[in-house]
Every structure is written in C-alpha cells, then in structure tokens.
C-alpha cells in the first residue's frame, strides 16, 4: 500500500478509535448517572416514616364524659400521603368525634363499627398535592372518646399496608421505611389507672469474682394478676446464675435466660395467678449474676419493651397502660469495674493505646485515672483533641495540654 494510503487508513482508524472512546465515555457517563438516580431513589425509598403515637389517658371517668386523645407525630418531614389504621375494643371505649390538623387539607377519618367482634376501627387517610412537614409533637388528629371500663388499648394495625407513609419524589409517591413497625406506631390507651413502675438497680463498684444480686423492685403494684418482663444484659460482662422470687408468688412465677439481639441475652420474667398487691419498694424478684472479672465496659440492664414483652394485667385481665416505656420501666447498670488508667509505658502521648492499661484510649463515656507513675514511665501530654467522662489526677501526677491540644471532660 502506498504511504498516502497507509496514512489515510491510519487516520481512519484513529477517528474510529476516538469515536469509540467517546461512545464508551458517553455510555459510562449515562451508566453512572443511572446508578446515581437509582441509588437516590433507593435512598429516598428507605427514608424513615414518622413516629406516630396514640395518646394515653390514665385518669378517665366512666360515662358520657369527653375523653380527648391526640394522635401525634415526630419526624413528619416532607410527607405526601398517609394511611393509618387504629383499632380498639368498643366494650372499653367508644368513639365520638374527631378534629384533623388544619394543615392537612382533605384528611379523612372513617369509623367502622365492629363486625362479628367488639373491635371498632378508625382509618385516617390523606393525600396532599405536595409534601407537607409538621413540627415534632404536632397533633395529626384529636379524637374524642367515652370511657366505659377497664383498659381501652388504642392499637395500630400493621398488616397489609394498614399503616403507611409516602413522600413525593418528583411526581411519584415513594413508600417510607417503617420497620420494625412497633417502633414507628406507638399504641395508646384510655383507663382509670396505670401499670406499676418497675426498677432495675445500679452497681457503681462491682467486685470481680462476686455475685451481683439484681433486685427488681416495684411501685404501684396494686391488684395485679399477670406480668411479663424482658431485661437485656451483656453476657460478656456478667453471667446469669439463678433467681429468688418474692414469697407471695406461687409456682407460676418463672424466670428464663434466652438469646437476645446481637451478642446480648435477655432475662424473661413471667407470672400469673390470683391478683396481688405489694407495698411500694417491694421486691418482685432477685436475679443473681456472676461478675467474673473486672471489665473495662459497663453492662446496661435494659428493659426491652416491644409491647407485650413488658406488660402487666390487673386482676380482671385488663392489660395496663405502660407507655411511654421510660416512664414505667427504669433501667439499671453494672458500671465498669476497671477504669481507664494511664501507664505512660512508652511515651507521653495520650492517644497511644500502649500508654494505657488494657482498656485502651478513653472517650467521652469513660472515667480516667492518672496515677503517679514511676520513672522511666511518663505523664500524659495532650497535643490533639481528647475526651473523657471524668478524670482523677492522683497526688504527684500531672496532666499537660499542649498548645495544639484540648480535652473535653463530661458531656
């Protein structure tokens, strides 16, 4: 082939290669944009729904007295549509009327009478022309009931999309995440009393190798006929041994130790029998745990309440109102048995784990001790940002903060 022909052929190949590169680059850009919009769509789809709470009334009087109950929301941000279903036993409470939030134009409240049972149903529905936001604690709807007797639990119905929130993304309504649903739809109720108050203890100075008697106490334990309680703990810190129940309870009082979530375990306490009353401060039971060795980490003793997992019923079988959880179930704690202690074994650097005991470098949740270390060990000098919950500098010890350093103590 002549030189000119070769040049033309090469140029043609170069142009084709350049066009191919441009096509690949364009396709890659389109693919990247597609992935971006897909991920954006998924992100919007996975955004959380608001937390919806049915109100609680614990001083209701039977008869034709108006009992107002607000349904409130938290995290109601850019919502375009919702559909909510609330059920209740009409032998305990009776629905009278409702007033919706004025910001939700066109919102409807539909009451369905019991069919084949005693349970009535309220459906709240709204679709906006655009997304709407409400301040935390806003009332979605105010309901008026008449109280009859016992406890009228106001229960959200989850099945088959009976509770659902959506958000406009462009012109498309995207369903928002509400799983697990018991955390997004909080039941309410109407009664003339509350559940008892239940307390787990705190151990501030646990002793390695000792048995910790975790005494569960109660207030307001009046005319109680049944109970179920779940207490979560960390088996990496303490191990369950046994229990001792209040002598007033019979053989129906049982305690079990089961697998919890993640690495945690749960103590399950259950009892039913003839109704009983205990004085305030009485012991329900004592859970005996082993504290095998001093631990750098604390162990929370946390009540786990998903609804029926922590629950009391009165002598007539009425489930008692115990919401919000933090008002009725008080957590305990086994504090860390081994504090974060400075050794200065290799240098004066606060942020070097080798200068601390086995606990490592402290953070804002940890208590710190700076002892009077012996030479050649060094005292700490902070040249970066440091933090701890509290700090004790023992006699003869020093702590220095360099010009580029800082320390935050406490929250």
Instruction: Count, in order, helices (H) and strands (E) of the chain.
Output: 3, 32
Tokens of 384: 């970066």
Which backbone phi and psi does 118 adopt, to 5 degrees?
Answer: -105, 5
Q: From CA 67, how far away is CA 84, in angstroms rounded? A: 21
Q: Long-range CB contacts (< 8 A, 24+ apart) of 282-285? A: 282/217, 282/218, 282/221, 282/246, 283/215, 283/216, 283/217, 283/246, 284/198, 284/216, 284/217, 284/218, 284/221, 284/245, 284/246, 285/215, 285/216, 285/243, 285/244, 285/245, 285/246, 285/253, 285/255
Q: From CA 178, how far away is CA 117, in angstroms rounded? A: 29
Identical fold, 51-190 and 197-334: yes
pTM of the model: 0.78
Q: Long-range CB contacts (< 8 A, 24+ apart) of 395-398? A: 396/372, 397/342, 397/370, 397/371, 397/372, 397/373, 398/370
Q: Domain 197-334 is in which class?
A: mainly beta
Strands of 249-382 (E only): list them: 254-259, 265-276, 282-291, 299-303, 311-314, 329-330, 332-334, 340-341, 367-370, 381-382
Q: For the chain, give every domain's residue range.
A: 51-190, 197-334, 340-409
How distant, in Å, are the alpha carbons of 296, 354, 383, 386, 395 from that of 357?
10, 8, 20, 17, 19
Q: Which residues lie below 8 Å from residue 6, measured CB to CB, with a gap of 6+?
A: none
* pLDDT tens, the chain, 411 aa long: 333 332 233 233 333 434 433 343 444 444 443 444 434 444 444 599 999 999 999 999 999 999 999 999 999 999 999 999 999 999 999 999 999 999 999 999 999 999 999 999 999 999 999 999 999 999 999 999 999 999 999 999 988 889 999 999 999 999 999 999 999 999 999 999 999 999 999 999 999 999 999 999 999 999 999 999 999 999 999 999 999 999 999 999 999 999 999 999 999 999 999 999 999 999 999 999 999 999 999 999 999 987 789 999 999 999 999 998 999 999 999 999 999 999 999 999 999 999 999 999 999 999 999 999 988 999 999 999 999 999 999 999 999 999 999 999 986
The correct CATH number of 51-190 out of 3.30.70.20, 2.40.30.110, 3.90.1150.10, 2.60.40.680 is 2.60.40.680
């Amino acid at each position: 082939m002549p030189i000119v022909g070769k040049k033309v052929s090469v140029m043609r190949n170069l142009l084709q290669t350049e066009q191919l590169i441009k096509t690949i680059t364009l396709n890659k850009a389109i693919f990247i944009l597609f992935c971006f919009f897909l991920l954006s769509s998924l992100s919007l789809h996975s955004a959380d729904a608001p937390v919806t709470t049915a109100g609680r009334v614990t001083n209701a009087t039977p008869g034709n007295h108006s009992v107002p109950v607000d349904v409130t929301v938290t995290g109601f941000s850019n919502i375009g549509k919702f559909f909510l279903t609330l059920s209740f036993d009409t032998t305990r409470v009776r629905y009278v009327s409702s007033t919706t939030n004025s910001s939700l134009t066109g919102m409807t409240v539909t009451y369905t009478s019991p069919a084949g049972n005693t349970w009535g149903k309220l459906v709240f529905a709204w679709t906006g022309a655009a997304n709407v936001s409400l301040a935390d604690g806003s009332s979605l709807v105010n309901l008026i009931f008449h109280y009859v007797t016992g406890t009228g639990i106001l229960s959200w119905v989850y099945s088959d999309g009976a509770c659902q929130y959506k958000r406009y993304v462009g012109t498309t309504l995207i369903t928002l995440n509400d799983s697990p649903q018991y955390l997004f739809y909080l039941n309410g109720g109407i009664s003339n009393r509350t559940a008892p108050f239940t307390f787990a203890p705190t151990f501030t100075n646990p002793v390695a190798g000792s048995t910790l008697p975790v005494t569960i106490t109660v207030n307001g334990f009046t005319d109680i006929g049944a109970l179920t309680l779940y207490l979560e703990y960390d088996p990496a810190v303490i191990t369950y041994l046994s229990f001792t129940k209040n002598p007033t309870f019979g053989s129906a009082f049982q305690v079990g130790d089961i697998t919890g979530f993640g690495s945690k375990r749960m103590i399950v306490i259950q009892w039913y029998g003839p109704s009983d009353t205990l004085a305030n401060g009485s012991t329900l039971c004592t859970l005996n745990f082993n504290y095998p060795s001093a631990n750098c980490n604390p162990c929370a003793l946390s009540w786990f309440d998903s609804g029926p997992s922590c629950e009391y019923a009165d002598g007539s079988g009425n489930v008692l109102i115990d919401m919000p959880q933090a008002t009725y179930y008080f957590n305990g704690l086994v504090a860390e048995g081994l504090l974060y202690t400075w050794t200065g074994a290799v240098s004066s650097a606060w942020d070097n784990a080798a200068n601390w005991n086995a606990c490592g470098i402290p953070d804002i949740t940890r208590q710190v001790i700076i002892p009077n270390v012996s030479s050649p060990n060094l005292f700490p000098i902070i040249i970066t940002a440091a933090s701890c919950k509290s700090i004790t500098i023992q006699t003869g010890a020093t702590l220095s903060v360099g010009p580029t350093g800082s320390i935050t103590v406490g929250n």
